[in-house]
Structure 1
Amino acid sequence: MVTVNLGILHYVLDHVYGAFVHRTKISPQFFSKGWGGSKLDQLESMIKQLFPDVAAQNWPPNLVHPIWRTVWETKTACLREGVFRTPCDDQLLNALPPESYNARVAFLTPKFVPPQKMACVVHLADESSNICAIGTGDHTFERRLRLGGPLLKENIATMVLESPFYGQRRPILQRGARLLCVSDLLLLGRATIEEARSLLYWLDAEAGFGKMGVCGLSMGGVHAAMVGSLHPTPVATLPFLSPHSAVVAFCEGILKHATAWEALRQDLAAQKATMTLEEVRERMRSVLSLTDVTRFPIPKNPHAVIFVAATDDGYIPKHSVLELQKAWPGSEVRWVTGGHVSSFLLHNDEFRKAIVDGLNRLPWKESPL
């Protein structure tokens, strides 16, 4: 009898998938147009503004006013889609591609339940790989609505944000999920954070929900962690299969094979800064260190922070998850057996349980007199 080590099998699956998608060049590489020139310097300054010393200076965020249309409704549930102008300030807005100016959300709610007796979780998208984009619709709404659907019976609503640079917000010259410049990664992250914070504020101040949370998968989980960190009141913060920094995703995990290192080196050479490929990778580490969530404030209720990580993840090493847990004392890590790909496909029940448990660790908002 042959004994199969399932951990190795899951890890190999990640690498087989990675080889098929990334090394065969079946799709373009990340950052094929280089660093982003002067825009990168501008964005580095804007990202630093998110860090603890100024975190409280931009609250409340700009209030959004979605224009809603009903997609479908049943006796017990309703799905609406909303469109709103991104609440980013003029400096950030001018850096975005025009296609990303208008944000879209899907809003799945149970019917006949007062908002103050409901919770709502904002689901952010994975921007780091094509796992979600191939056949699952994660860059739009479908996969995350399927994740949130069964939560309706728990009186938990789902709000799904379509990120800048993806879905209907994708720049015309961008193919699929592959961002053209390093600056695009920082830009979509900063814009996603601003939009998610505004949506949480809308859910609280306008819709009156009793509890709120934010979750995301992979790099979407990094953004969820940042949003939960910066929120001025306790929210459930639920990063799934997520690193503590984009450095891990693009410089350590399988996505390093999907990065256009030679194009990045040539872009630097055109600016009279000749570097070896190793020096280019070090510069990437320096730039992406801005996304290190361990530098962000500890969330207001760290006990409502639950990470779900995979035991044999070829994209996200274990140490990365544990670094963030160490930086946020009181947070919890739950391990599922599998790799990045298999866990994404097979462990939705564990993701849902984390959402329910995270929300249960929050008190209900007091109703106004």
Structure 2
Amino acid sequence: MVSINLGVLHYVLDHIYGTFLHRTKLGTPFFSKGWGGSKLDLLERMVKQLFPEAETQNWPPSIVKPVWRTVWETKTACLREGVFRTPCDEQLINALPPESRNARVALLAPKFVPPQKMACVVHLAGTGDHTFERRLRLGGPLLKENIATMVLESPFYGNRRPSLQRGAKLRCVSDLLLLGRVTIDESRSLLHWLEAEAGYGKTGICGLSMGGVHAAMVGSLHPTPIATLPFLAPHSAVVAFCEGVFQYCTAWEALREDAAQKAGMTLEQVRERLRSVLSLTDVTQFPVPKNPHAVIFVSATDDGYIPKHSVLELQRAWPGSEVRWVTGGHVSSFLLHNDAFRKAIVDALNRLEWKESLL
């Protein structure tokens, strides 16, 4: 009985947090400027290119050459920050706001350990994660396991946030697809840099919530086995914006008005159109990763944002992958279960072989 009550409490906490953050009039809702016009058409085409046959296309990706500066160092570890021009297709670069065209990345690594004897995991941003700090705190304790942490600043976030955007609330639906596609392209290039240039012996990709969806896509498309770790993540953005708490912070009326060329659209028809557009992010349509045993989902038992069925759909699509459940909701698990996330990272990397150069 106690566990049931606690489960209800965690679920209610997600909705209380969502109500305060998303249903009040204190902030701008998602997609307040509508669909994004011709940009949405472009992004729909560009996202479709990621689908099943795409994992062998455009590999190796465009090489990134970050310009590094040291932030701090101790006797055992070093934190560096790098900047690089996004390696995306020219059409994508032109679609990005100017503020998003240069990427920032942080790399926290042990000192005096050859990269060939280390692993490095790229950490992707969840909704609203504008800085490096939270992900660096997650990765910091892994230094003792010889696991480095690379943190990518997403387009539309942090220093890459457009001047007219308020917080994490993207102004157009096209921005969500653009954020995802650019994040995936940049992550693939960074993984290639870690493997081919820096020489790390193992690599992985992880992310929380939205970052977990992107991590799943990147892990799916990578041509060799890597650790893939979606945390508190759905199988598709449809779940977050059409089923979960985010539906209450979406500017449905603005989307209906922006679709005026389709005279007389009802709000229900608008919802169906958004569901159709966001179905492009359905990770179950992506290829099974090269080593599905190195895929570990960490999900919450009472998540008000991400229902269990969404997690299980992706696990079924990727036979051999593992789901681990933590007790709590989306918000409480984000705050309380970092140890479970770290253990999943260690375990997934342990299921990979070291590169042949170490044998």
Give the TM-score normalised by structure 1. Answer: 0.96
CA gap 1:368/1:118 in 2 versus in 1, 3 angstroms: closer
Equivalent residues of 1:294, 1:323 under 8 A apart: yes
Q: 1:195 deviation in Å?
A: 0.2
**Structure-1 residue corresponding to 2:107:** 107
Residues 1:212 and 2:203 are matched in the alignment: yes
Q: 1:53 deviation in Å?
A: 2.1
Equivalent residues of 1:268, 1:274 under 8 A apart: no
Q: Map 1:1-369; keep pairs closer than 5 Å.
A: 5-127=5-127, 133=128, 138-269=129-260, 271-367=261-357
C-alpha RMSD of the superposition: 1.4
2-structure distance, mates of 1:126, 1:352: 16
2-structure distance, mates of 1:45, 1:200: 24
Secondary structure of 2:75's partner?
coil
Q: 1:2 deviation in Å?
A: 8.9
2-structure distance, mates of 1:214, 1:4: 33
Equivalent residues of 1:82, 1:106 under 8 A apart: yes
Secondary structure of 1:17's partner?
helix
Equivalent residues of 1:49, 1:55 under 8 A apart: no
Q: 1:75 deviation in Å?
A: 0.4
Counterpart residue identity of residue 22, structure 2: H
**What are the superposed Cα offsets for residues 136-180 of structure 1, whole Å, 9 maximum, x if unpaired?**
xx3210000000000000000000000000000000100010000
Percent identity, aligned pairs only, is 83
Q: 1:26 deviation in Å?
A: 2.3
**What are the superposed Cα offsets for residues 330-362 of structure 1, whole Å, 9 maximum, x if unpaired?**
000000000000000000000000000000000
Runs of 5+ unmatched residues, structure 2: none
Counterpart residue identity of residue 361, structure 1: R
1-structure distance, mates of 2:55, 2:4: 49
2-structure distance, mates of 1:368, 1:348: 30
Equivalent residues of 1:120, 1:158 under 8 A apart: yes
Counterpart residue identity of residue 259, structure 2: L
1-structure distance, mates of 2:275, 2:358: 48
Counterpart residue identity of residue 88, structure 2: C
Equivalent residues of 2:155, 2:182 under 8 A apart: yes
2-structure distance, mates of 1:273, 1:297: 38
2-structure distance, mates of 1:3, 1:159: 37
2-structure distance, mates of 1:48, 1:86: 20
Give the TM-score normalised by structure 2. Answer: 0.98
Secondary structure of 1:341's partner?
helix
Counterpart residue identity of residue 239, structure 1: P
Secondary structure of 2:355's partner?
coil
Secondary structure of 2:240's partner?
helix
CA gap 1:2/1:10 in 2 versus in 1, 3 angstroms: closer
1-structure distance, mates of 2:39, 2:257: 18
Number of residues paired by the alignment? 359
Equivalent residues of 2:7, 2:328 under 8 A apart: yes
Secondary structure of 2:357's partner?
coil
Q: 1:3 deviation in Å?
A: 8.8
2-structure distance, mates of 1:344, 1:7: 15
Equivalent residues of 1:306, 1:332 under 8 A apart: yes
Equivalent residues of 1:237, 1:305 under 8 A apart: yes
Counterpart residue identity of residue 104, structure 2: R
2-structure distance, mates of 1:143, 1:352: 13
2-structure distance, mates of 1:82, 1:204: 17
2-structure distance, mates of 1:336, 1:59: 36
Counterpart residue identity of residue 94, structure 1: N
**What are the superposed Cα offsets for residues 246-283 of structure 1, whole Å, 9 maximum, x if unpaired?**
000000001100100000000001x2433100000000
After the TM superposition, list the runs of 4 or more consecutive aligned residues in structure 1 that deviate by more than 4 angstroms.
1-4
2-structure distance, mates of 1:277, 1:30: 16
